[in-house]
Amino acid sequence: MPLRFYNTLSQQVEEFTPAADNTVRMYTCGPTVYDFAHIGNFRTFTFVDLLRKCLRANGFHLNHVMNITDVDDKIIRNAVAQHKSLDEYTKIYTEAFLEDCAALRLERPERLAPATEHIHDMVDAIQKLGPHTYSSDGSVYFKIASFPTYGKLSHNDFSGNLSGARVDVDEYEKADARDFALWKTPKEGEIFWDTEIGPGRPGWHIECSVMAIKYLGDTLDIHAGGIDLVFPHHENEIAQSECLTGKPFARFWLHAEFLMVEGQKMSKSLGNYYTLRDLVGKGHAPEAIRYLLASVPYRKSLNFTIDGLKSAAIAIERLRNFKLRLETDRYADGVNQQLAERTALASAAFTAGINDDLNTAEALAAVFEFVRDANSAMDSGEFRAGNTPDALQFLNLFDSIFDVLKATAKAGELGDGEIDARIEARTAAKRARDFKLADQIRDELLAQGIILEDTKNGVRWKRK
């Protein structure tokens, strides 16, 4: 089952393997830590996490770098306004970001690279870019006219269109509207670094080129991010990097589509702007959020709704119930061959879906079809003990990508031993046909978040 991804560069689905060895060199654009990340940011970061897990499931090792943009106009403005140092300010949001990622079970990349720790690497790169740059009022710009294939990622044609206009887009003087800043001279009261190319701070794009090349080499296997970064950010990264190394910057470019909220674009003014902590604070399980973000294939815009979140929570619950049943019910010895075959088919269909450009919707369909089949077999007594390992293995395969089956632990819950004792007491009451007492015990446990289920093989319980 070959692994395929849609490559923004070629505008086609291509088979993927790493260029050099079995290790995938991957760079993904991380957060700008000027505020709490919102659910739209996490759509992209969840996609990246699925990508990691998918690559690993295909037997590849990962060397993945993600940047933390900890210096930019907004950060400087906010830090100054709050009388904080840059570090004080960005530390707050960097830590919040990492907490949020942990809540969503997003794996930590092999390296997180803060821009401010690479200022001198960037200065070196800007110097090396020499003929592709020019200075103006203390700032340094990249001259896109010096890079003939500029526009190849976003499929824009800039030839013939490069001179004339003198636009003051960024409050700096540029020779051409499309030229972009590599180094920005400080304005009054702004934070700056004193360097060989003068005082200032890096432009946004250069950090990614520099850190990617430094840690991963001249040519990346995969570069990924949100679709809004295609132009100008990734286009500019290509220009800088390829002028620096003379080699293709990345083989595969993957971009996640945007997210909408309740059918509308997310915006603070519409009141549909959610951070992860908003949603968790309202009682939505991080797993449900993760599931919803993961369930829509990344190249399709995702309509994030509270109803959808509830549906996601219920869907997860069904899968968890199935797993619990698999682990607690007892079945006759032997193997149901027909079911074993269907398990294998479901597993293959799941992998095929994931490997087909991360078609998570297709993969999920295989999971739910299997769950229905297996539950039916259990109900009709056709399920055999020998089918359990395969079924659990398939669920593990599913969870190795989706990672939603384990419930997020809550503080202050009853211990297992205590629960078992209460269940004993209830079973005794039932035997004595004292249903009133039995129900009372069940209700008490429920009030503490423990759900009891009577099955033909005895009582089982789960945490709410």
- Decide if 328 contacts 455 (C-beta within 8 A): yes
Cα angle 411, 415, 419; round to 5? 125
Q: With left for phi above 0 and alpha for psi between -120 and 50, is residue 85 left, alpha or beta?
A: beta
Residue 14 lies near RNA (rule: CB under 7 A): no
| Strands 180-184 and 139-142, bridge-based pairing | antiparallel
Residue 308 lies near RNA (rule: CB under 7 A): yes
Alpha helices in 169-234 (DSSP H): 206-216
| Pick 18 or 397: Cβ nearer RNA | 397
Residue 187 lies near RNA (rule: CB under 7 A): no
- Interface with RNA (CB under 7 A), residue from 13, 169, 270, 344: 169
Residue 31 lies near RNA (rule: CB under 7 A): yes
Write each residue from 401 to 430 as x if it is in contact with RNA (CB under 7 A), else as -, in one continuous string: -----------------------------x
Residue 114 lies near RNA (rule: CB under 7 A): no
Residue 275 lies near RNA (rule: CB under 7 A): no
Residue 202 lies near RNA (rule: CB under 7 A): no
| Pick 18 or 208: Cβ nearer RNA | 208
Distance, C-alpha 265 to centroid of its chain = 20
Structure tokens at 46: 């969840």
Tell me which stretch binds RNA (CB under 7 A): 115-123, 135-143, 375-383, 398-406. 375-383
| Shortest Å, Cβ 150 to RNA | 12
Residue 452 lies near RNA (rule: CB under 7 A): yes
Q: Please list every residue from 226 through 245 that binds RNA, using CB under 7 A.
A: 226-233
Q: Please list every residue from 45 through 74 that binds RNA, using CB under 7 A.
A: 72-74
Q: What CA–CA distance (Å, rounded) separates 212 from 206? A: 10
| Strands 259-261 and 302-304, bridge-based pairing | parallel
Least Cα distance to 221 among 229, 212, 208 occurs for 212
Q: What CA–CA distance (Å, rounded) separates 367 from 364? A: 5
Least Cα distance to 451 among 404, 417, 414, 425 occurs for 414
Size of the site for RNA (CB under 7 A): 83
Residue 149 lies near RNA (rule: CB under 7 A): no
Q: What CA–CA distance (Å, rounded) separates 429 from 437? A: 6
Residue 78 lies near RNA (rule: CB under 7 A): no
Tokens 């289920």 sit on residue: 453
Tell me which stretch binds RNA (CB under 7 A): 103-111, 183-191, 385-393, 431-439. 431-439
| Shortest Å, Cβ 28 to RNA | 9
